[in-house]
Structure 1
Amino acid sequence: MIIQLETREMKESARVFTRGATIACCAAMAGLGLLWAAYGPAIPQLQKDFGIDEGMAGLPLAIQSAGSVLGALSVPLLLRRLGYRTIFRSAFLALAIGALTIGIVPAWAAVLTGAVVAGLGLGCCDTLVSQTFITGHGRRGAAMVNVAHGCFGLGTVLAPALLALLGTQQWPVMFLVVAGLMLVACTGLGGISNQKEPKGESVPGGGGPRGGVRVRIYVLTGFLVLYVAHFGVQSGIGTWEPTRLMDQGHAEFEATLATSGYWLAMVLGRVAAIPFTSRFRASSIVLTSSVGMSLAVLVAAVVPGATVWAYLVAGLMIGPIFPTGLTWLMTSGHARGETFSYVVASALAGSIVVPPLLGFLLQARGSDALAPTVLVVSAITVLATILTARRLRGGPTTYRESN
């Protein structure tokens, strides 16, 4: 099967992916998930190995997220200068080199350096896969981007599960696995066209935006706030849940396994959303998920004994927000030109700010502060979703209509 990628500049679709290349991209997304979720369970051991506190322990994920922002921002420029295959291969290799550096060099500076390099590849890869999967599958675009991010979620499940089995003292092994997986994925990129993207609007809208510049700014700001807050909740829980559970008296194995369950719930949430993408408005799916996420975090805040189950439900609700929200943005007609990459890059800022801030907060006030703080960020997600949906009311917000 050939996947078609459409641009506003090209009336005829260009052949970009073969099925094998699509599988390779999904494998790479699983590697991204492994990389993303390996830090949280490893934090206690990182503190022991390098003699650092909670605030410093959250720094690698924050630095990796900073690198991912730069990687996402580079996509529009790279699309005009290099071919698709070259960009994908470069992103995969950056991920492999960064992860390999973290896994084999026993120095804190090497961990931070590797995190930056891996982040560059992560941001580029995530943006490219999301963009091309949405635009290249026609009516199945919304479902396929959930599949791709479901693979990412699968990686986030395996990382803490493997660390629970191996022991967190073996955390370098996880990064070596990521490097190996990315190198294997590189071998499947021969089926990607090496064409360049013509200068112009590389991301089509959903039939054209409604309203003028002020409306577009309002809508894009809404999406940015929604994503920054959503990523903050997602990475905040994923990074610090093991620490919170161990403070509550759970064994390290139990805490790490529970975090694996949180990421698994995210995968299930994305899979469960697939049949709804052609039946319900994107705004309805995102809003329902955001409210459910907030209610689950509220339970974790007021009922400490329910932390494990509350975060499992939170993961289930978080799952559909990112991929479904991306399709919502595309079909709104406001993701013209380089806007899509800019929105994704800005969204990743939530993962730069929240984990280290939570680390310093937990260091000062204890892990009891985790759920109340995440709840505030989650409420911002709900508010941004409501305001954005109101502004886009009457626009092309269903996948069936837009695709």
Structure 2
Amino acid sequence: MITSSKASKRNYIFQVLTVFIGFLVFGFSENVKGPAIPRIQTNFGLDEMQIGTLLSLNSLGYLLACSFTAILVRKWGVKCVTLISFGSMVASGIFIFLSQSYPALTGSYFFMYLGNGMLEIALAVLGAQIFVKNTGTMMNLSHFFYGLSSTVAPMLASGLMTVTLFGHTLDWRGMYLVVLSLCLIPMIPALLGRFPDQNDSGEERTPIKAFLRDPVMWLLVTILSFGVVSELAVGGWLVNFLEKAYHWDTTAAAGMLSGFFLCFTVARLLVGPIVDRIGFTLSLIILAAFAGVCTFAAILVGEPGAVLFAIAGIGIAPVYPTIMALIAKRYRSNSDTAITFIVTLMGVGSVIGNYLIGAITDGIKRLFMTSQGSELGLLRGLQAGYSFIALCAIICSLASLVLYRHLKRRNELL
């Protein structure tokens, strides 16, 4: 009995390490792109529209992975899918390192986001299965590690791109190779651990048609889509905004992005117990609204208010893990199907969102260029594109308010 208990605890440690370290490397892979994007843009001579297209195509790879990962989880198990996800991200680092053209880079990024999408689903399903107590706290804690690595990622990327090895500067290609190779580390606890099989739970599974008729699912899709666009867009656009709108150098701009992720990380570490106490839905309303207001204020105040871009991370950080906790509570026996359904449709919103940010930035820039000069045109374009990021957070909050009222009428508040 004691031996069995010790084995169970050891296995739980392997499961938790897989989730925590998995989110740690996930944060690195997602957020080193901030400092890299301007270098990639210069290297290949790309405009803002092409950058927006690059990011939206990457989101398409993420979306594609989300659409088939649940099937793979049910067929092969979450352990196998997790290992494949980590392995594909290591391979994508090699492909990015070897890319010498815009199409090759796009293909490499697309492949990396396939791995990211698979990992997102696998870690979310595993978390929903093993975090059965204090779900809001544990989900936020696991995503804290994403925030922790995201805080370090911009400065790490800036530093690595200047490192010289054997007479050659790593630049953005070598930086991606080094960072994505870190995905080998969480493969160790994933190999050592035994993961739960949801198919063996004995509980009746809800068919996908039932999810399609559930208004709560569609509200969660809306909340998560706008929330994630507002969250992830910061990693791709903040450094670009600060460098071009305010003429900051790369180190200063990357430092502000790290500041955003520092606020992001602290929020995920500390807000979880508050979310469990006041409720998931009410938390979403308050936090998303805070992020949107801070971002709009930063744009309106101008360069002196740039710190508000970082402070917005406090509000947007808990949105994703809080929704995952809500799903885990409401759809406990069908968490893999529910997560896949919501995250897949969220991917559609992410594709559209990234494309719109680039399109709005480029369109407004061209409009103002014709009448007020190229520099002011670029500034107005960047402000318009970033305002869309703030608007997404506000819409996320409003959709959460609709969800709150719907669940309260049915006495189903979580």
Give me the TM-score of the superposition, normalised by structure 1.
0.85
Distance between the aligned counterparts of 2:199 and 2:332, measured in 1? 19
Q: Relative to total residues, which structure has the larger helix share, 1 or 2?
A: 2
Equivalent position of 2:179 in the other structure:
178
Equivalent position of 1:348 in the other structure:
347
Tell me which of 213, 221, 226 is aligned to 2:223. Answer: 226
Tell me which of 312, 324, 327 is aligned to 1:326. Answer: 324
Distance between the aligned counterparts of 1:222 and 1:234, measured in 2? 18
Query: 1:312 corresponds to which letter in structure 2?
Result: A
Q: Does residue 377 in structure 1 map to residue 412 in structure 2?
A: no
Structure 1 stretch displaced more, 213-222 or 347-356: 213-222
Shift of 1:16: 11
* 1:247-326 equivalence runs, <5 A: 247-326=245-324
Query: 2:341 corresponds to which letter in structure 1?
Result: Y
Query: 1:145 corresponds to which letter in structure 2?
Result: M
Equivalent position of 1:209 in the other structure:
none
Contact 1:142 1:324 survives alignment (8 Å): yes
Query: 1:240 corresponds to which letter in structure 2?
Result: W
- Backbone CA RMSD of aligned residues: 3.0
Deviations for 1:324-353, whole angstroms, at most 9, x for unmatched residues? Answer: 112123323498461221101222333322
Determine which structure has more spread, i.e. the larger CA radius of gyration: 2
Structure 1 stretch displaced more, 267-276 or 132-141: 132-141
Equivalent position of 2:241 in the other structure:
244
Distance between the aligned counterparts of 1:47 and 1:203, measured in 2? 51
Query: 1:67 corresponds to which letter in structure 2?
Result: G
Contact 2:136 2:273 survives alignment (8 Å): no
Alpha-carbon spacing, 1:107–1:371, altered in 2? closer, same or farther (3 Å):
closer
Q: Does residue 388 in structure 1 map to residue 403 in structure 2?
A: yes
State the SS of the aligned residue for 2:144.
Answer: helix
Distance between the aligned counterparts of 1:245 and 1:274, measured in 2? 31
Shift of 1:22: 2.4
Shift of 1:184: 2.2
Query: 2:260 corresponds to which letter in structure 1?
Result: Y
Equivalent position of 1:9 in the other structure:
none
Contact 1:86 1:194 survives alignment (8 Å): no
Shift of 1:166: 4.0
Q: Does residue 44 in structure 1 map to residue 38 in structure 2?
A: yes
Deviations for 1:4-38, whole angstroms, at most 9, x for unmatched residues? Answer: 9xxxxxxxxx9995313421332222221112112
Equivalent position of 1:133 in the other structure:
127
* 1:132-211 equivalence runs, <5 A: 132-167=126-161, 170-193=171-194, 196-198=197-199
Deviations for 1:38-64, whole angstroms, at most 9, x for unmatched residues? Answer: 222212111111111112123343222
Alpha-carbon spacing, 1:159–1:215, altered in 2? closer, same or farther (3 Å):
closer
State the SS of the aligned residue for 1:377.
Answer: helix
Contact 1:362 1:369 survives alignment (8 Å): yes
Structure 1 stretch displaced more, 30-39 or 170-179: 170-179
Distance between the aligned counterparts of 1:227 and 1:68, measured in 2? 15
Distance between the aligned counterparts of 1:335 and 1:388, measured in 2? 22
Query: 1:382 corresponds to which letter in structure 2?
Result: S
- The aligned length equals 382
State the SS of the aligned residue for 1:188.
Answer: helix
Equivalent position of 1:7 in the other structure:
none
Distance between the aligned counterparts of 2:347 and 2:149, measured in 1? 18
Query: 1:191 corresponds to which letter in structure 2?
Result: L
Query: 1:218 corresponds to which letter in structure 2?
Result: P
Contact 1:61 1:351 survives alignment (8 Å): no
Tell me which of 75, 85, 91 is aligned to 1:91. Answer: 85
Distance between the aligned counterparts of 1:64 and 1:76, measured in 2? 20
Deviations for 1:123-151, whole angstroms, at most 9, x for unmatched residues? Answer: 12112212221331221332222122111
Distance between the aligned counterparts of 2:224 and 2:105, measured in 1? 27
* 1:358-373 equivalence runs, <5 A: 358-364=357-363, 365=365, 366-373=381-388
Query: 2:154 corresponds to which letter in structure 1?
Result: P
State the SS of the aligned residue for 2:114.
Answer: helix
Deviations for 1:117-176, whole angstroms, at most 9, x for unmatched residues? Answer: 221221121122122213312213322221221111222222211133345782223321
Query: 1:119 corresponds to which letter in structure 2?
Result: Y
Shift of 1:322: 0.4
Structure 1 stretch displaced more, 317-326 or 115-124: 115-124
Distance between the aligned counterparts of 1:158 and 1:202, measured in 2? 42
Distance between the aligned counterparts of 2:205 and 2:128, measured in 1? 10
Distance between the aligned counterparts of 2:134 and 2:179, measured in 1? 29
State the SS of the aligned residue for 1:277.
Answer: helix
Query: 2:315 corresponds to which letter in structure 1?
Result: M
Structure 1 stretch displaced more, 374-383 or 167-176: 167-176
Q: What percent identity do the matched residue pairs reach? A: 19
Contact 1:150 1:270 survives alignment (8 Å): yes
Shift of 1:307: 4.3
Query: 1:355 corresponds to which letter in structure 2?
Result: N
For structure 2, list consecutive stretches of 5 or more residues without a partner in the other structure: 163-169, 366-380
